[in-house]
Amino acid sequence: MLEVRDVNAGYGRVRVLRGISLSVPAGKIVALLGANGAGKTTLMRAITGLATIHAGSIALAGKPVAGRAPEALVREGLVLVPQGRLLFGDMTVRENLEMGAFTVDDRDTWRRHLARVETLFPILRERAGQMAALLSGGEQQMLALARALMSSPRCLLLDEPSLGLSPKAFGTIIEAIQRINAQGIPVLIAEQNVRRVLRLADYVYVLANGRVEVEGEGKRLMADDRIRASYLGMG
């Protein structure tokens, strides 16, 4: 579904990523692991048109998307839930969901999308008139996910969804990601919560200094003591 090939990217003339290649197959969950500064967020931003791509290619369902505007990529179905959630705090839950549906042209489709996200996250129906800033951290992450789903993504990107969440709240988000994926939406997730993500992902890429240092199935990486100690901080 999503193919990244030999991408060099960064901000302006500063290069952060060097020769990054990865694949997110249809229906799969793929994880990016790595320490702060490894390049995970830059890669997410490069894929979604928010960082400068100096070389390489990115394609969604075989269609080149590198260099296109973020709004155009959302319309193509490439949707990012950013680090820190970036909700509209002084707007209600329902208004945030409406903002996520800016690509939806007709009311019936909007209602179907709203019904889907409120089924996935019933608390958002209860909190519909509440300001987003007043939600708990876990509820805010649910809203960020739901807002992204309102545009009916073909591929969903999640940047550090565990940030600021308790283990219990993150567990709820993990369950939601699994349900989203079960609906056929492929997911690329960047995380530092290594143990949880290794159990979640079908395939894992470990970044260091802007490069892919290790890749493989999550179960295999979890079982390799050398990789656990050298790259995952689990020794």
> Taking 60 as the threshold, does the pLDDT of residue 167 lie above it?
yes
Confidence tier at 101 by pLDDT (50, 70, 90): confident
> Taking 60 as the threshold, does the pLDDT of residue 235 lie above it?
no
Q: Which residues pair with 59 in a beta bridge?
A: 3, 64
- 3-state helix, strand and coil shares in percent for the chain, rounded to the nearest 5: 40, 30, 35
pLDDT at residue 55 in the model: 94
> Taking 90 as the threshold, does the pLDDT of residue 218 lie above it?
no
Q: Are 85 and 146 in contact (CB under 8 A)?
A: no
Mean pLDDT of 74-102: 92
Residue 71, CB half-sphere, CA atoms under 13 Å: how many? 4
Phi, psi of 170 (to 5 degrees): -65, -35
Phi, psi of 201 (to 5 degrees): -85, 145
Give me the chain's average pLDDT, please.
Answer: 91
Q: Are 178 and 199 in contact (CB under 8 A)?
A: no
Q: Which domains does the chain have, with CATH numbers?
A: 2-85+156-230 (3.40.50.300)
Mean pLDDT of 193-221: 90
Mean pLDDT of 27-53: 92
Q: Are 177 and 121 in contact (CB under 8 A)?
A: no
Confidence tier at 95 by pLDDT (50, 70, 90): very high
> Taking 80 as the threshold, does the pLDDT of residue 225 lie above it?
no
Q: Which two tokens stand for residue 92?
A: 């209600």
Triad 48, 73, 27: Cα angle to 5°: 80
User: d(Cα 171, Cα 40) in Å, to the nearest integer?
Assistant: 21
Confidence tier at 230 by pLDDT (50, 70, 90): low
> Taking 80 as the threshold, does the pLDDT of residue 199 lie above it?
yes
